[in-house]
Amino acid sequence: MNDDPLGLDSYLMLLRKQRHSYAQGLLLATTWAKDRGGIIDGPNEDGVTSITVGEEQAHCFLLFSDIDRFYFET
């Protein structure tokens, strides 16, 4: 069992607030998830990568092609 106080949504929000580029944010998010036994799926044909950790799932994407920032939805 993991004692990490941050859930997936909280960790991704932290990355978003740190204003990471899409590639850097996605790398940090997928590494964090894998370290916690998470599942990474994607990117799909729309460029969306799904991350699942336990019961939480998020969809990570580049919202605007001209603004290189990490975005996600849970």
Q: pLDDT tens for residues 6-18?
A: 899 999 999 999 9
Name the percent of the chain lying above pLDDT 70: 95
Exposed, middle or buried, 42 (CB in 10 Å: 0-12/13-18/19+)? middle
Q: State yes or no: pLDDT of 1 exceeds 50.
A: no
CB–CB of 21/69 below 8 Å?
yes
Closest C-alpha among 53, 50, 54, 32 to residue 40:
50
